Structure 1
């Protein structure tokens, strides 16, 4: 097994208390006992795993030897290290996710600052008010199952799209349990195993996990090498996935001409273009143009143009309400899939969401203002404490895309955990195999937390073994 792959599976192994070799052995033991490292799996050499974990070789040797004594590993001089036991039983149908975003959610950090995930850190008062109003709307003969979504919320979203220049009927709206489920339903409906999906590199890691779960063949497009529209027309994939506004992770918003080119290419090639607009409204005030109209405004009635939205980043992640805007035929197909999965999202959540959507602009304006201030604070702290790190200011969204001057970001992330902070290495967002020298750093926390977070990152960087003798001199920082 590749050391970086094993490091990803190990997750935040070093974030506990006690000797590092015991922490490493404990996490390896759990992976073996849970079947995630099946019998016969060859493990990296001591040196390779130590480099991948940014740990000392003696830590790996001691952990391996402890598990060998327990009978969980076999180690032979000159032959390597592997999981003990004979292969038995059928293989697992799908591999569990090793993406750090999901691992940090599945195994919540206790004394680790969370800088791997990005989203509002608390429910605003408007959410509580919306739920109070929603309670008053319950009652009557409603069975409570609405696979396509509650009519009240579908109507509220259709009215919002129409007001923004995209004529939309309720038949063009499907309510989902978060934007993530919307992407999952679309992948299930449109992508057969082995079919190609065009994606940006880097892009939202949650989408990449969905496409991999669907056994899709990813076609990553690196920014600056070829335009997205050109590649879409050339490959004719089964589906194209695009973040055009407040891109995750770079914060970039595509200019109008580029957006038009991509839509034109999708319509001409008859390729479903799934546009993720979960972050699209979070442009920073007073420093860029107003948020562009939804891409669907370029072709409101086109079968190929599909939009995914959500309240998770605009309001609060705990409000698991998302949606898909598409033509009625596809919405009906997605609703049938959703009916099989969960019979429909929760009615109370949808009624509360309808209350929020009816007066969403003030909430968005306040969140954008707060994010802009926190963005500036994070930039200032990085310039002061880590001047050799390179980044460009974001125009919106929630994250900075930061380049390390040298070293592997996945190994650095392990070193950061030992300083009590979880960061997301860029390789987990880039299906091309690139961005291994990048980090995605969110600016969703308050100023004090951001300052403390950068201080911990700096402490990890200054002790990072990837900066050992022989490393090139630091690159000059980009002014932001």
Structure 2
């Protein structure tokens, strides 16, 4: 069994230091045991070295040493010289439950929660719900309510949305899903087998990484990201450079309002990607979940899929980002054949998305222009306020102004943001480090910093974040100094 990366284990250990009782080593040991019991860490996984884990958790090495000893004494850890420490478990589940991403939503007990960039709901959602009448529901109540492909009126509305963007689409090309996350999961289930090569941007949406890892895909990242450099992120030329040796099963992209960077591809970059994808004849998954949060332009965004064949292209979309996360309405646009395949898998987990929510979504589609304007006005103000605050209070931090979305992708020079996030969390501030968005645990100096919660929230969190960053740098320097002082041989 492979070694679990230190960064991934740290994300799974969210909240361990503040939960439970007893000394810190006992709490850490209990948290690791619970990961094994739930199979969040597969049985037999090799844990990081004591020094590595201590550094990223922001605790002393003696704390980790004591925790490992407690686990070994109770039979949950097996240590062998030269092969590290392997965590034992029930062995009944092969795959873990992701990387602790739900910690962004399930336990918001901190002073300031910046772990999610999700937006508050728009008032128009309440208006639409309140305007529904018994007459609106009567035709639906005369049937059983099981609509595996989605409400026909909504499928037609989504198809019309794409036609307005210049992409000919019929309702038979639409599958309604419970949000965009389910859509991405369905794609992974339908199209990816263990060992398949999947090309992803680096960084990219962490929910997609979890869905693809659950299928044991071989993730190949393309491109990189650093302020003032390649603002378009991944390079389409990388597909050509793969040559015949690498044949990707699919490519997962976010060309319009990328999560987490907030950047968007311009027309030339989109054409370059479309050309490279068509040349390699590779299946493309275009995630446009955040596209309606673009802060410039007008009207529906034109998807990359406009220049690609339907038979080898999937577009993922949602209303949840723009209107309200509690409105779980997303979709897939593809060929009728692909839609039918995904629908068959979907019926194994739910027979139909909630019909009343879909009815609400039909009405909301007609209010997209107003919703875009409302969100754009507020997000622009929040982005400007966040940038002003950081330039004043954290002038050494770096970022590119995002073209959309609800967060800044910030570089904190000289800092391991995994350790920084652990320090901050124990002081009541929750943030997500950059490595959570990387297929190769990169971007250890990056932080996704949401501004959509308002400048006040960021201002309250900033002293703790600055202190935690400094503590992380000090621990990192101290660890390097101790390492350099070790006698050779």
TM-score computed with the length of structure 1 as normaliser: 0.87
Distance 1:12 1:311 in 2: 31
The question of whether the paired residues in 2 share the 8 Å contact of 1:174 and 1:335 is answered with: yes
The question of whether the paired residues in 2 share the 8 Å contact of 1:399 and 1:443 is answered with: yes
Change (3 A) 1:236 1:34: closer
Change (3 A) 1:201 1:78: closer
Helix, strand or coil: the match of 1:400?
Answer: strand
426-435 or 10-19, which moves further after superposition?
Answer: 10-19
Deviations 1:409-450 (A, max 9, x none): 211111111221111111121113421221111222022112
Distance 2:83 2:347 in 1: 52
Aligned equivalent of 2:383: 375
The question of whether the paired residues in 2 share the 8 Å contact of 1:177 and 1:321 is answered with: yes
Deviation at 1:23, TM superposition (A): 3.7
Deviation at 1:366, TM superposition (A): 0.8
The question of whether the paired residues in 2 share the 8 Å contact of 1:173 and 1:325 is answered with: yes
Aligned equivalent of 2:101: 101
* Among 241, 261, 280, the residue aligned to 1:250: 261
The question of whether the paired residues in 2 share the 8 Å contact of 1:29 and 1:67 is answered with: yes
Distance 1:236 1:37 in 2: 30
The question of whether the paired residues in 1 share the 8 Å contact of 2:195 and 2:217 is answered with: yes
Alignment of 1:203-282 (within 5 A): 203-223=204-224, 224=230, 228-233=235-240, 234=243, 235-282=246-293
Distance 2:80 2:186 in 1: 47
Deviation at 1:461, TM superposition (A): 2.0
* Among 6, 9, 20, the residue aligned to 1:6: 9
Distance 1:78 1:214 in 2: 30
Alignment of 1:5-404 (within 5 A): 5-16=8-19, 20-36=24-40, 43-64=47-68, 90-98=91-99, 100-105=100-105, 107-120=106-119, 122-134=120-132, 136=134, 137-140=136-139, 141-223=142-224, 224=230, 228-233=235-240, 234=243, 235-285=246-296, 292-299=301-308, 302-404=310-412
Deviations 1:434-479 (A, max 9, x none): 212211112220221121122321232233344646999xxxxxxx
Aligned equivalent of 1:475: none
Distance 2:42 2:191 in 1: 33
The question of whether the paired residues in 1 share the 8 Å contact of 2:165 and 2:300 is answered with: no
The question of whether the paired residues in 1 share the 8 Å contact of 2:148 and 2:347 is answered with: yes
Aligned equivalent of 1:478: none
Deviation at 1:351, TM superposition (A): 0.6
36-45 or 236-245, which moves further after superposition?
Answer: 36-45
Aligned equivalent of 1:406: 414
Aligned equivalent of 2:436: 428
The question of whether the paired residues in 2 share the 8 Å contact of 1:135 and 1:348 is answered with: no
Change (3 A) 1:242 1:303: same
The question of whether the paired residues in 2 share the 8 Å contact of 1:4 and 1:410 is answered with: yes
Change (3 A) 1:3 1:395: closer
Deviation at 1:139, TM superposition (A): 2.5
Aligned equivalent of 2:487: none
310-319 or 235-244, which moves further after superposition?
Answer: 235-244
Change (3 A) 1:66 1:135: farther
Distance 2:378 2:125 in 1: 17
Aligned equivalent of 1:449: 457
Deviations 1:50-91 (A, max 9, x none): 11211123433454455567665578999976657xx7x655
Deviation at 1:110, TM superposition (A): 1.6
Deviation at 1:226, TM superposition (A): 9.5
Aligned equivalent of 1:440: 448
What stretches of structure 2 of length at least 5 have no aligned partner?
225-229, 482-489
What stretches of structure 1 of length at least 5 have no aligned partner?
473-480
71-80 or 239-248, which moves further after superposition?
Answer: 71-80
The question of whether the paired residues in 1 share the 8 Å contact of 2:115 and 2:430 is answered with: yes
Distance 1:290 1:174 in 2: 23
TM-score computed with the length of structure 2 as normaliser: 0.85
Change (3 A) 1:22 1:382: farther
Distance 1:41 1:265 in 2: 38
Aligned equivalent of 2:485: none
RMSD between superposed Cα atoms in Å:
3.0
Change (3 A) 1:290 1:386: farther
The question of whether the paired residues in 2 share the 8 Å contact of 1:245 and 1:254 is answered with: yes
Deviation at 1:164, TM superposition (A): 2.3
Helix, strand or coil: the match of 1:13?
Answer: coil
Deviation at 1:405, TM superposition (A): 1.0
The question of whether the paired residues in 2 share the 8 Å contact of 1:73 and 1:82 is answered with: yes
Helix, strand or coil: the match of 1:259?
Answer: helix
The question of whether the paired residues in 2 share the 8 Å contact of 1:54 and 1:414 is answered with: yes
Distance 2:42 2:76 in 1: 10
Distance 2:279 2:81 in 1: 60
Deviation at 1:113, TM superposition (A): 2.5
Helix, strand or coil: the match of 1:209?
Answer: helix
